A and B are shown apart, each in its own frame.
Chain A
């Protein structure tokens, strides 16, 4: 990674660490992600991906180390970070008693988005769930809730989006649509950070990736490098994780 990229890193962490009691969920992670990347954080279940995203979006406080997102310190200005980025959490939890439209209105009010209804209409159409707009969130299927969460993350057109396990509840058609949307999105100069344990997704859409295992960063690189070496991401991943002693 060049000095310039480091300089304008959209996400930069230094020795980031999070402990829950005795569990070290994220252990001394330093990464830098530049503008226009579609970056994949890969790792088996429990490796600390969700914890990492939560720290980067100011939802939980790092135990030690530092992280800046869009130039803002996540410890000092978590709300500022959340104002600027879009987030899709691992568990889709829109408020139970608001309808889908109302939830988007709510997001619009909180984020001060002008004309949120018009933007919402576009998303209802794009992700094909306009027929559910007046149904309460608690009565929506998981797939529809995921669509709604996708919408709330992008409706304010953030320059950076952080997505935890993005495609898990989507059917193949929707997955295609969303993958295309994400690749288009970064082409326009935005940045996306996704976490996933599904390697095919990463191999297909990501530019850069990092492998996290038991909270530690094992590898950072680009998908292009792998392709040059004619290596498959899943073989590479498994060999790394096995070397690190995964059972």
Chain B
């Protein structure tokens, strides 16, 4: 088991460092550390506005969210790598031919992911904060406590997503019922007791007041779902003899208004048959955004409702821009290399499919605006969300072409992305806070987005596509 683990770690390192160059990759935690270190100096500013308790909620929720996103990405990674690297497939799959049970492999995979992302994300953040703490008058025990509780928050997210996704692979109905029960239970509890649901989150309780029983509960919340996930796990060895009805030609005809109908039809088929349409919408879109909404509602006491809605629209836009990865992850460029398809036309086609997928965030914004009683702000919220999404997409395409996953590992690329998107977001948030209707001005972002896309076409046409 340990041998398997070390091999998986080595493999992960090898895959990522060959994909992105070992230097850029090794710099990644260093950069996260730097951001955390400098960010910590903003804390006193925050504390002047937001009570410390709320700050703790926000940062714990962020790590919970990080766990969820990373877990989702890890699971997908397992699928994607396997597909992209084909024969040179990852150990977790080639291990099928070894005398090891699938549960054991999955278990090792989970542990590997945890350790790996702890090193990549959690440790650098806590280290950055710890180093900054003497300068910002934070008691020295706090970074240690924070290391514990943030790790737990991160692991809870990871465990939750592994649990939900194994349930999902067993039965979609059961997952649906489970999610509804969890949501109703949560809402009922907070309505009935008047206690904010955040108080239910054990790592946070642990942060407020440390006690051994709470620590035990916090660990149980991590271990029990993970254990169930491992028990429930089956590698979905889809029936290899399954026949499919020819869908490509009819779809191509239906999608004739696209610039490249066969490419669009293929995107759609990929999304549906890989199961990523429902899975992704749920795990990388609705669940993180549900959490964000909850997070923002914590701020409701300090901000007018319109601002909350617009803030949510901005964040939805950023997350919606990652839908581009849904369209690229199961699609290896190598399947086009023997056809007369150029990289720019492929990019263009993907962006059109992306535009169609934007109906999902648009629908969500409409729903949230109406449900939260912010219908007056529907128009600015919608424009804001879509402009941010398309602008962030353009930056992604410009920086990463057809391989957006580079963003997650290449320090230089991520930094450029954060700057390009971050500056725009800060300006927009300020505009929206001055007057919600100014947010409509965000439509101006389509101009730089359009220019970036033009530049990207030329840029990626000149470069050799990676071999994976």
Contact = CB atoms under 8 A, between A and B. Distances in A.
B240 A110 contact: no
Contact of A89 (B240, B249, B273, B337): B337
B244 A136 contact: yes
Interface in A111-157: 111, 134-136, 138-139, 149, 152-153
B83 A88 contact: no
A96 B248 contact: no
B246 interface: yes
Contact of B261 (A54, A80, A109, A152): A109
A57 B462 CA distance: 15
A106 B330 contact: no
B349 to A, nearest CB: 11
A97 B272 CA distance: 9
B246 to A, nearest CB: 6
Interface string B271-297: 001100000000000000000000000
Contact of B249 (A59, A61, A94, A105): A105
A91 interface: yes
B242 A95 contact: no
Contact of A60 (B241, B332, B464): B464
B338 interface: yes
Interface in B345-369: none
A107 interface: yes
Dominant secondary structure of chain B at its interface with chain A: loop
Contacts of B86: 91, 93
Contact of B338 (A78, A88, A99, A139): A88
A178 interface: no
B120 to A, nearest CB: 26
Contacts of A61: 462, 464
B435 interface: no
A241 interface: no
Given A60-B464, A109-B261, A134-B243, A89 B334 contact: yes
A68 interface: no
A169 B265 CA distance: 30
Given A134-B246, A153-B338, A106 B83 contact: no
B337 A99 contact: no
Interface string B245-275: 1111100100000000111011001100110
A136 B273 contact: yes
Contacts of B247: 102
A65 to B, nearest CB: 16
Interface in B94-152: none
Contact of B266 (A86, A98, A149): A98
A6 interface: no
Given A95-B266, A139-B238, A83 B340 contact: yes
Nearest to B243: A134
A179 interface: no
B177 interface: no
A105 B83 contact: no
Which 7 residue pairs are nearest across A and B when measured between Cβ atoms? Answer: A109-B262, A87-B338, A134-B243, A139-B240, A102-B248, A83-B340, A82-B340
8 contacts: A89-B338, A95-B270, A99-B246, A106-B262, A110-B263, A135-B240, A135-B243, A136-B242
Interface of A: 54, 57, 59-61, 78-80, 82-83, 86-89, 91, 93-99, 101-102, 105-107, 109-111, 134-136, 138-139, 149, 152-153
